[in-house]
Amino acid sequence: MSYLPTDASDFASKAIDGFVAAHPRHVQRIDGGVIRLAPIPSGQVGVVVGGGSGHYPAFAGLVGRGLAAGAVCGNIFASPSAGQVVQVGSAVERGAGLLLSFGNYAGDVLHFTLGAERLRRQGIDVRIVTVTDDIASAPIDQPELRRGIAGGLVVYKVAGAAAEAGLPLDEVERLARKANSRIRSLGVAFSGCTLPGASQPLFDVPKGRMAIGMGLHGEPGLSEGPLTDANSLAALLVERLLAERPADVPEDQQRLVVLLNGLGSFKYEELFVLFGAVNQELLARGVVLADCECGELVTSLDMAGVSLSLCWLDAELEGFWNAPADSAAYRRGAPTPLPQAQHALLARFEAVEKTLEQRVEELGALDAVAGDGDHGLGMLRGIRGARQSAIHACTRGCSTGEVLMEAGEAWSDHGGGTSGALWGGALLAAGNSIAQASEVGAAEIAAAFDAALQAVVGLGKAAPGDKTMVDALQPYCLKLRSELEAGVALDQALQNAAASCLLAAQATAELLPKLGRARPHGSRSLGHPDPGAMSLAYCLIAATQAQPAT
Ligand code: ADP
Ligand code: MG
């Protein structure tokens, strides 16, 4: 594939040196590969990708903010060594652990696994997610045997965005696995590729034929078929891939990221012709193209071929797929870091989730006294849904008010029960109130809490003294107002209001319920506080004390 006389022995490393020289704004060279130039904040999970060379833009081209922190770069078509994995991993580790992600090839699995073990001996938490999108390489019931091809972009992108959003390693790993489980690819080749310095291609495709399901390194295809035109090829690829729709996606609710990948010698114009046909095929089948890429994403030196990848999105994956990224070969959106206010807001959601995790049994037991015992679990489901959607909204660059509104909708969807509807309504109203304001200061925050109270009262029709969360929320709002009017600084006022809220919640022990599930067994609850009032106080205390991660 090389036109200039070439020394094959150092071709790959010279190519990486030159790549780094050509992209000084994105990457820096280290022993073992490349790492991103943008500083990696402490506490951010390091996503490390890698594999053999000869596949540009995989893998070095995908290193940058919102994508991989580093790439381990092997020789042409050869896995990097475990030592290289250790070098790149150590260079991007910031105390939150590493996610290693790469295509499922025996050599890569071996070396990355050994490298991971060595990094773990240094005390680093390391997870591995192999990409297994190539449907031609193993049957559907053995997905773990499948190879990784162009679909890796979605896995790396989602993992990189999750890391950039500050998510912990568990979550980054979970999201990478989820992305991998929902992406399928299939490729065809029209001619083989030639190693640098070699005179013969690695394999041949007979004239007038095409290899279906060939590998990225010239591995033989699934089958060989007659060469067809773009429309027939599009139909073939789309049909085989859609047949592997994930089990949990209804046929009429498919939102896809579509990647049409050129493998090296397939010209962009011809890719576009084929993409047009793929687009028609997909639209005819009623699926929604949420997003697409058409170009060289993973190449195989100068192989003439294409691959099509489909990723079935859900709301969570879509948020991370759409998040900004800035690498040499893949850029998206304005790569703005999360504003401070959004960081603080997410820290509050996280703190509330932690508190509810700790209190789930206590709240359930309180609810069991006169209600149905589900309050702790309902609250936990609600906050988890709300926090996920807050993270997505923040990564999309939504304002504080919008983030709260989306979180409110998610809380009602996930939380269920009376409290789910009331918390959802409260967050929605608070977010709406803030979204109307031109700034978010003390007055706007107090107004947002008042709006939340109004929403709870409007929806649930509880009056003070009915033994509900209103008996804690109303004193909170009153105290916050009076503190601010007395000139107390916002942080202190919020703390004092939360303390009053807890006292008021505890005082509901003396009340008899007049509303809700607890009413029929009301007298039993005398001496026990109202679960919804207590959970509100716990949440407000946790939210007030939360410190954003720096
Ligand atoms: P469910 O009653 O549907 O099982 P939960 O157990 O999650 O829902 O929540 C119970 C809490 O919801 C109560 O402790 C109370 O604080 C709150 N609640 C119930 N009904 C009302 C209402 N009409 N107005 C305000 N809060 C209410
Ligand atoms: Mg209940």
pLDDT given for residue 342 in this prediction = 86
Ligand in closest contact with the CA of 513:
1
User: Contact at 8 Å (CB) between 11 and 76?
Assistant: yes
Q: What are phi and psi of 105, to 5 degrees?
A: -125, 145
Q: Which atom of ligand 1 is nearest to the CA of 536?
A: 16
State the average pLDDT over residues 114-140.
97
Q: Does residue 217 have an active-site annotation?
A: yes
Q: For residue 76, how far is the Cα from the chain centroid?
A: 31
Per-residue pLDDT band at 548 (split at 50, 70, 90): low
Residues 377 and 487 in one domain: yes
Is 421 close to ligand 1, i.e. is its CB under 6 Å away? Answer: no
In the predicted structure, residue 221 carries a pLDDT above the cut 80 = no
Q: What is the pLDDT of residues 147-169, one digit of tens each?
A: 999 999 999 999 999 999 999 99
Residues 261 and 151 in one domain: yes
Which residues are near ligand 2, the ion (C-beta closer than 5 Å)? 367, 371-372, 374-375
Is 424 close to ligand 1, i.e. is its CB under 6 Å away? Answer: no
Residue 527 inside a domain? The answer is yes
Distance CA 79, CA 113 (A): 12
State the average pLDDT over residues 394-401.
83
Residues 306 and 376 in one domain: no
Q: How far is the CA of 144 from the centre of ligand 2 (A)?
A: 42
State the average pLDDT over residues 461-484.
97
Among 324, 351, 382, residue at a domain's last position: 324
Residues 315 and 363 in one domain: no
Distance CA 471, CA 118 (A): 56
Q: What is the pLDDT of residues 335-390, one digit of tens each?
A: 455 678 888 999 999 999 999 999 999 999 999 998 999 999 999 999 999 998 89
Q: How far is the CA of 383 from the centre of ligand 2 (A)?
A: 16
Residues 47 and 87 in one domain: yes
Q: Which of 164, 166, 203, 160 is nearest to 179 (CA)?
A: 160
| Residue to substitute in 381, 419, 512, 536 for testing ligand 1 pocket (most ligand atoms within 8 angstroms of CB) | 419
pLDDT given for residue 35 in this prediction = 97
Q: Which of 217, 375, 392, 414 is catalytic?
A: 217
| Residue to substitute in 414, 468, 528, 534 for testing ligand 1 pocket (most ligand atoms within 8 angstroms of CB) | 468
Q: How far is the CA of 319 from the centre of ligand 1 (A)?
A: 32
Residue 505 inside a domain? The answer is yes
Q: How far is the CA of 412 from the centre of ligand 2 (A)?
A: 15
Among protein residues, the one with the nearest Cα to ligand 1's atom 19 is 516
Distance CA 70, CA 34 (A): 6
- For residue 538 the two structure tokens come to 């716990």
In the predicted structure, residue 92 carries a pLDDT above the cut 80 = yes
pLDDT given for residue 202 in this prediction = 86
Residues 6+ apart with CB under 8 A from 449: 430, 473, 476, 477, 480
Distance CA 470, CA 429 (A): 15
Q: What is the pLDDT of residues 492-501, one digit of tens each?
A: 999 999 999 9
pLDDT given for residue 392 in this prediction = 81
Residues 6+ apart with CB under 8 A from 76: 8, 11, 12, 52, 53, 54, 195, 196, 301
CATH number for the domain harbouring residue 184: 3.40.50.10440
Strands of the sheet containing 27-30, edge to edge, are: 27-30, 33-36, 70-76, 46-53, 98-103, 126-131
Among protein residues, the one with the nearest Cα to ligand 1's atom 18 is 468
- For residue 438 the two structure tokens come to 């031109």
Per-residue pLDDT band at 513 (split at 50, 70, 90): confident
pLDDT given for residue 538 in this prediction = 98
Residue 5 inside a domain? The answer is no
Residues 162 and 236 in one domain: yes
Is 172 close to ligand 1, i.e. is its CB under 6 Å away? Answer: no
Query: pTM, whole model, 2 decimals?
Result: 0.62
Distances (CA, A) of 161 to 52, 64, 102, 445, 466: 24, 11, 17, 30, 46
Residues 152 and 182 in one domain: yes
Is 371 close to ligand 1, i.e. is its CB under 6 Å away? Answer: yes
pLDDT given for residue 199 in this prediction = 87
Give the rounded percent of residues in the chain with a pLDDT score beyond 90.
Answer: 82
**Token pair 């504003």: residue:** 339
Distances (CA, A) of 482 to 28, 107, 450, 543: 55, 67, 13, 20
Distance CA 512, CA 486 (A): 34
CATH number for the domain harbouring residue 405: 1.25.40.340
Residues 406 and 503 in one domain: yes
Is 474 close to ligand 1, i.e. is its CB under 6 Å away? Answer: no
Residue 44 inside a domain? The answer is yes
Q: Which atom of ligand 1 is nearest to the CA of 372?
A: 4
Residues 76 and 207 in one domain: yes
Terminus-to-terminus CA distance in the chain, angstroms? 48
Computed over every residue of the chain, the mean pLDDT equals 94
Q: How far is the CA of 445 from the centre of ligand 2 (A)?
A: 29
**Per the structure, how many domains does the chain have?**
2
Is 532 close to ligand 1, i.e. is its CB under 6 Å away? Answer: yes
Q: How far is the CA of 1 from the centre of ligand 2 (A)?
A: 68
User: Contact at 8 Å (CB) between 427 and 414?
Assistant: no
What domain range is 154 assigned to? 12-194+202-324
Residues 479 and 367 in one domain: yes
pLDDT given for residue 334 in this prediction = 60
Among 280, 296, 324, residue at a domain's last position: 324
Per-residue pLDDT band at 405 (split at 50, 70, 90): very high
Q: Which atom of ligand 1 is nearest to the CA of 531?
A: 14
Q: Which atom of ligand 1 is nearest to the CA of 469?
A: 16
Residues 317 and 359 in one domain: no
- H helix intervals, 165-201: 169-181
pLDDT given for residue 438 in this prediction = 85
User: Contact at 8 Å (CB) between 80 and 110?
Assistant: no
> b/e for 115-128, b at 16 or more Cβ within 10 A?
bbebbeeeebbbbb
DSSP for 294-358, please give it: EE-SS--TTBEEEEEEEEE--HHHHHHHHS-EEESS-EES--PPPPHHHHHHHHHHHHHHHHHHH
Per-residue pLDDT band at 2 (split at 50, 70, 90): confident
State the average pLDDT over residues 473-477.
98
Ligand in closest contact with the CA of 420:
1
Residues 247 and 359 in one domain: no
Residue 409 inside a domain? The answer is yes
In the predicted structure, residue 263 carries a pLDDT above the cut 60 = yes
Residue 159 inside a domain? The answer is yes
Q: What are phi and psi of 215, to 5 degrees?
A: -90, 175
Among 324, 350, 373, residue at a domain's last position: 324
Residue 189 inside a domain? The answer is yes
- For residue 354 the two structure tokens come to 């932690």
Q: How far is the CA of 517 from the centre of ligand 1 (A)?
A: 7
Among protein residues, the one with the nearest Cα to ligand 1's atom 16 is 532
pLDDT given for residue 335 in this prediction = 43
